[in-house]
Structure 1
Amino acid sequence: MSRKEPQIWPGISRRTFIQKSSLVLTGLAVTGVPEISWAVHGDTLHVRNYQDLTSLDSVSSLSAAEGIISAAINQNLLRFKPDGTWDTQLDAAESFEQIDETHYAFRLKKGQLFSNGYGEMTADDVKFSFERMVDPAMNALNRPDMGPLSHVDVHDRYSGTFVLDTPYAAFIPVAVAGPSGEILSRKAVTAVGGRFTTEPPCSSGPYLFKSWQAQRKTVLVRNPQWTGRKPDFEEIHVYAMPDPKTAEMAFEAGELDCAWISVETVEPFKQNMPDNSSIRVLPSGRNYWLGMNQENPALTDIRVRQAIQYAVDVEAVVEAAWFGLAKVSNGPIPEGMVGHRDSALIPPKGDPEKARQLLSEAGVELPLRLRMDVNSDSLELTAVQVMEWSLRKVGIEVDIRPQDNSTFLTIGREDLGDQWRDVQLFMQSFTGLADPYYSLTWFTSAQLGIWNWERFSSEEFDRLSDQALATTDPAARSRMYRRMQDLMEESGCYRFITNSVMPQIYRNTIKPAFRADGYTMLREIRRPGSGS
C-alpha cells in the first residue's frame, strides 16, 4: 500500500514546506542545524554524516562516522572495493601477500607523501601505525581489531612483514583494510605528543583535512601531492547531522548531494522523488539489540533478564521502527556471513505469558521499574517506545532516557567513573565489518567495561572466540560463531533486534560509492562518466 506524501499543514505538503523554508534552514546553525551553502554545484561535494567527530586517531575513534572521513584522508595497505562487496584491492601497498598462517609481507608504492612536510611514507610508518594499536600504554579502544598481532618487521624503506602470534582469519578484512589499519606518519604523530583527536597532523590520501567545526561540518580538500587517480571534487563538505530529518530537509532544499535517510521516509520519497535523484536501500551490517547489565542489582537474577527477552516483541519493533524494510535479527552476525544463525532461541514474537511466569518465579514485585538508555535518534526512540509497550504488558515499567550519541557512548565505560553501575537496560548498535569476528569480539570478557556493557562473561565464549580466529575452515568457524551467539542469548543479557538497512538518497549528478554495509566511501564518489 502506497503512502501519500505527508502534510505538515493543511493543504501544504512536506515537499512544498521544505522548498519554502530552505532559507530558514540555512540560518539555523545556532539551534544545532549546520550551516550549509545554498547550492550544490561546481567542485564541492556535500554529504551528510550521521554524527559529529570525536577522534580521527585510530587508537581512539569511536564510530563509523569517523571512519567515513579518515578513509578519505588516509591510506591502508589494502582498501575495500567500491562495488558493494567486502573484496579488497591494493591501496598504499604495491604488493601484499600471505606467506603462511602467521606472516604477511607487504611492499609500499614509492613516492607516497604525507602532507605538511612529513615526507614519504615508509615501512617504518606502517610498523608505527600497527604497533601503537597493540601497545598496552596506548589503551586503544579498537585494540581487538589487531587480533594476535605481535609486531612488524621492517626489511627496508618500503617493505616489511607482519608477525602474528597465532593465525588470525580476520587479519586482512579487519586489521589491514579496516579503519584501524590506516597508516599514519610516525614523525607527525610523535610531533603532536603521540595522540590527536579531531585535527590530524597530516594526511596521505586523495583528500586532506582542512577544517572542523564542532557540531557543524568537516571540510576536506583535494590533495595536490596525491599520485593516484585525481579526485573529482576540489572539496568535500561533510555535515554532522544526527537527526535524519534535518538531512532530508537539506536534501530536498537542494543542499546535499548524498544523505543516509530514515527508513520511514523511503516510501514517501519514492512516491514523490526530488528531481534528478535516486534512492538505494542498502543492506547494513549494523547490529541492533536490547542489552541488560547483569551486574545491576535489579537484573542479577537471570529469570528477570529472560522475562525481558520473552516480553519484547521484536517483530513489532522492527515493523514500527524500520517500516518493514529490515528483517528480524537472529544474532549479531548478518545473513550471508559465516556464522549466521537460521533462527534465534527465543521466538521473535516473544511470549508474554512466559515472561510473566519467569517474573513470578523470580519473586519480583510488580510493577518492576527499570531505566532504559537510548541514543536520541528518531529510529531508536521509536524502537524503545515499542519495547516499552511490550514490557508494560507484563508488569515492567520503563523510564526511557534519550541521550546524544557522544554522551550515550560513555555510559558503560569503567574508565570514566562508576556511572556504569547504574546502567540497566539500553538499546545499542554496533557496526560490523567483513568478518564475523568483528561482530562478536566486543562481547568477550576482555571487553568488560569497555564495549561489553552487559557485563556478559563466559569462559566458553572467550575460548571459542580465540579458536574461531585461529581457524580457517569456514564450516568449523560457522559452528563456533553460532554457538557463541547461543551463549549470548542464553545469558539473558541480549534481545537481538535487527541487522538493519541503510537507505541512501543521492543526486544523479554524482556516481555514489558505498561499502558492503551501506556507508559512504567519500574517496570513491565520482561524477558520472568520469571513469572508475
Structure 2
Amino acid sequence: MRTPTPPRLRGPLAPAAGLLAAVLVLSGCQEVQTSTAPAEETADVTGVGLDGKTIAEGGDLVMALSAEPDVLDPTTSSSLYTRYVMQTMCEKLYDIDASGEIVPMLATELPEVSEDGLTVTFPLKEGVQFADGTPFDAEAVKTSIERHLTKEDSSRRSELGPITDVKAVDDLTVEIDYETPFAPIAAVLADRAGMIMSPTELEKTGDDFGEHPVCVGAFKFVERVPQTSITVERDPLYYDAENVHLDSITYRIITDASIRAANLRSGDVQVADTLSTQDLTELEADENVGLLEVGSLGYQAMTVNVGNTDGVGAPPGKIDTPIATDPRVRQALSMAVDREQLVKSVFNDRFDPACSPIAPSSTFSTAASEACPEYDPEGAKALLEEAGVETPYKIEMKVTNTPDTLRLAQAVQASVADGGFEVEIVPVEYSSLLEVQEQGDFDLLQLGWSGRVDPHGNMFNFLSTGAGNNYSGYSNPEVDDLLTEAATVIDPAERAELYGQVVTQVQKDNPIIYLYRTRSLTGYVGEVAGISTYADGVVRLSHAAFVEPTEG
C-alpha cells in the first residue's frame, strides 16, 4: 500500500484583485487503513471510491449517527451531525475536496474580488432546480444570504463579515458588497452560510423551514423521527441525478460507540461515524469493515461561562463566581489539565493534545498559536491561593452522556484534582447540551468544534463579542479588533501573525480551554463505496453506492 505524504495545510494565496479562497492540502484517498499507530504517524484515509467497482444501483443505506442533529436549518444549526444530513440535501456555493482545496459547488468559479477588496462576485450553475421544482438562481442565493444576515436567531450572521449589500446582478451572477475587505468569504460559503434554501419553501414555512428543509441536493427530505432517525430519498430533479445511486439514506441515531461498532460489524448499518478508539483493534481485524481516518481542523475543549447570562449573541452579563470573574482561576484550570495523559489514557494516544483553535498543519499556524500551557498542578494551586479561592474549588461540568465523553470527563476530573479543583460531572443528552450552551445554563461545559479551513471559522464566531457561537459570553475589545483586522488581510503570513496574537490573549483569558484534537473515524462495510470524510469532519454520502463483491 502506498503511504501518502503527511498532510499539510496551506492558506489563501491570491491577492484581493484575484480569486479569494483559503485552501488546505491533505493526502489522497486510500481504500484500506490498518495502522494502529498514534495519530501523528497515521496517514489520512479520506475515502473509498467507486472506480473499478460494479455498482448495484438502488438500495437503502443506513448510517449510524453518533448524536441527534439539531434543527435542519442552515441559518440556525450548530451541530456537526446536522451537517452530515444536510450534506445530502443542501448543497453549498462552495465545498472542499479530498485534498482540502475549496472548490465550486453551486457556484461555477471561485469568487472574484475587486481591487479594493469590497466587492465579491461569483457565477452560478445553470439549469439547477430545488427539490420542489423552484429554479435555482441569483435571487434564491440573495434570499438565503439575507436570511442568514437578518434572522434574529441566526448563527451565520457574524460568520459572513461586514456585508452592506447582496445583489442579483443577473439570473446567474451574485455580488456581495462589503464595508471592509473580507478574506474568508470563500471558506465561509463552503459551509452552512453557503447552503441555499428554496425561496418557495421559505415563504411557505418561514421559521419552521427546518421541519421540512428544501434545497438543492442529491437527496430530499422525507421524515424525521425524533431521537430515532432521519430519512432522505433520491431527488429526481437533482442536476447530477445520473450519478446518484442509492434510493434512500436513513440516518439512525445510535449514541453508544460500541453499539455503532457492533451494528457495523453485523451489517445492520453500512456506515458509522465517530467510532471509538476503544473499538479500533477489533474493527481493523474485521475483513468486511473499512475505516476512514482523517485529521481534524477542529478541537475539543471546555467552555467557561464568563458572561453568557441572556443567551448566545446577547450582550455579556455579569456572573459573580470566581471562575467567571477572575482569569487566574481559569488559568489555573488550564494548567491543571494534563493533556498528554488525557489522549493516552482515554484515546489510546490516537488523538493529539491541543491548546489552540488553529491546527498545527495549517499555514496559519505559528509558534504563538502552538504554545501550550505546561501541566503544572502546583502552579495551579498557587494561582488559586493568589486569587483567594478556597480549595478544592468546586465546579460543575456538563458533558454529553456518551461513554467516550464520560471517560474523558473522568480523566479531566482526576487530572485537575491535583491542581486544586473538584469537578462534578453532569451528563446531558447531546441535543439538550446544545441548548444548554446556547442559553448559558452552565458554569463549565465540554463540547467540541469540527473545524473549518480558514481560522476565521474556528475563532471569530466563538471569541468575538456577541457572535453567534460565543457561548462563553466572552468579550475582549483587543481580541475583537485583532479578529476583525485578520479578516481584512489578504497576506497569509500577516493573518497568521494576527491569529497568533489572538491565541496568546485567549490563553490569558481562557474563556475556552482547548484540550485535544480528534481524528475523524468513520467505518463502512465492504459492500459500500463512494463515501468520504474530509478534514471538515463531514461524512459525505451523496454519491455512495452498494457495490458487487470483488472476487479473489
TM-score tier by shorter-chain length is 0.7 to 0.9
Spell out the pairing of 1:247-286 with structure 2 (5 A cutoff): 247-260=260-273, 261-270=275-284, 272-273=285-286, 275-286=287-298
- CA contact under 8 A between 2:413 and 2:422: conserved in structure 1? yes
Spell out the pairing of 1:309-388 with structure 2 (5 A cutoff): 309-342=334-367, 345-348=371-374, 350-388=375-413
* CA-CA distance at 1:529 after TM superposition: 9.4
Correspondence for 1:52 among 48, 68, 71: 68
Correspondence for 1:183 among 182, 193, 196: 196
One-letter amino acid matched to 1:489: Q
Q: Out of 467-476 and 392-401, give the one that drifted further.
A: 392-401
Aligned to 2:536: 517
- CA contact under 8 A between 1:464 and 1:480: conserved in structure 2? yes
Cα distance in 2, alignment partners of residues 193 and 428 from structure 1: 30
Cα distance in 2, alignment partners of residues 77 and 303 from structure 1: 44
Aligned to 1:112: 128
One-letter amino acid matched to 1:371: E
* CA-CA distance at 1:111 after TM superposition: 2.3
One-letter amino acid matched to 2:118: T
Cα distance in 1, alignment partners of residues 110 and 388 from structure 2: 60
Distance 1:114 1:297, change over 3 A: same
One-letter amino acid matched to 2:235: N
- CA contact under 8 A between 1:49 and 1:240: conserved in structure 2? yes
One-letter amino acid matched to 1:459: P
* CA-CA distance at 1:354 after TM superposition: 0.8
Cα distance in 1, alignment partners of residues 290 and 247 from structure 2: 24
Cα distance in 2, alignment partners of residues 192 and 405 from structure 1: 26
* CA-CA distance at 1:363 after TM superposition: 2.3
Aligned to 1:503: 521
Secondary structure at the residue paired with 1:114? coil
Cα distance in 2, alignment partners of residues 446 and 494 from structure 1: 14
Distance 1:194 1:397, change over 3 A: closer
Distance 1:88 1:355, change over 3 A: closer
Correspondence for 2:81 among 53, 65, 74: 65
Q: Does 1:131 align with 2:131?
A: no
Aligned to 1:211: 223
Secondary structure at the residue paired with 1:160? strand
Percentage identity across paired residues of the two chains: 23
Cα distance in 2, alignment partners of residues 171 and 526 from structure 1: 33
Distance 1:337 1:528, change over 3 A: farther
Which blocks of at least 5 consecutive residues in structure 1 are unaligned?
1-39
Cα distance in 2, alignment partners of residues 301 and 325 from structure 1: 34
Correspondence for 2:185 among 168, 171, 176: 171
One-letter amino acid matched to 1:303: R
* CA-CA distance at 1:148 after TM superposition: 2.0
RMSD of the alignment, in Å? 2.3
Q: Provide, for residues 372-419 of structure 1, a one-character-per-residue CA deviation record: whole Å limited to 9, x for no partner.
A: 111222222111211111222233211110101112112243xx4xx5
Correspondence for 1:471 among 477, 489, 498: 489
* CA-CA distance at 1:121 after TM superposition: 1.3
Q: Does 1:438 align with 2:463?
A: no
One-letter amino acid matched to 2:123: R
Calculate the TM-score normalised by the size of structure 2: 0.81
Cα distance in 1, alignment partners of residues 416 and 94 from structure 2: 46
Distance 1:209 1:412, change over 3 A: closer
Aligned to 1:32: none
* CA-CA distance at 1:434 after TM superposition: 1.1
- CA contact under 8 A between 1:48 and 1:256: conserved in structure 2? yes
Spell out the pairing of 1:152-163 with structure 2 (5 A cutoff): 152-163=166-177
Secondary structure at the residue paired with 1:306? helix
Secondary structure at the residue paired with 1:400? strand
Calculate the TM-score normalised by the size of structure 1: 0.84
* CA-CA distance at 1:346 after TM superposition: 4.6
* CA-CA distance at 1:527 after TM superposition: 5.0
Cα distance in 2, alignment partners of residues 77 and 301 from structure 1: 43
Correspondence for 1:407 among 432, 457, 464: 432
* CA-CA distance at 1:368 after TM superposition: 2.1
Higher relative CO (Cα under 8 Å, sequence separation at least 6) belongs to 2
Cα distance in 1, alignment partners of residues 537 and 280 from structure 2: 15
Q: Provide, for residues 461-495 of structure 1, a one-character-per-residue CA deviation record: whole Å limited to 9, x for no partner.
A: 11010110000101111111111111111114343
* CA-CA distance at 1:194 after TM superposition: 4.7
How many residues are matched?
475
Which blocks of at least 5 consecutive residues in structure 2 are unaligned?
1-55, 307-318
Cα distance in 2, alignment partners of residues 307 and 95 from structure 1: 48
Secondary structure at the residue paired with 1:197? helix
Cα distance in 2, alignment partners of residues 412 and 452 from structure 1: 9
* CA-CA distance at 1:207 after TM superposition: 0.9
One-letter amino acid matched to 1:220: V
One-letter amino acid matched to 1:279: L
Secondary structure at the residue paired with 1:138? coil
Q: Provide, for residues 182-238 of structure 1, a one-character-per-residue CA deviation record: whole Å limited to 9, x for no partner.
A: 1112122111135422321x3321111111111111111111112214301111111
- CA contact under 8 A between 2:380 and 2:420: conserved in structure 1? no
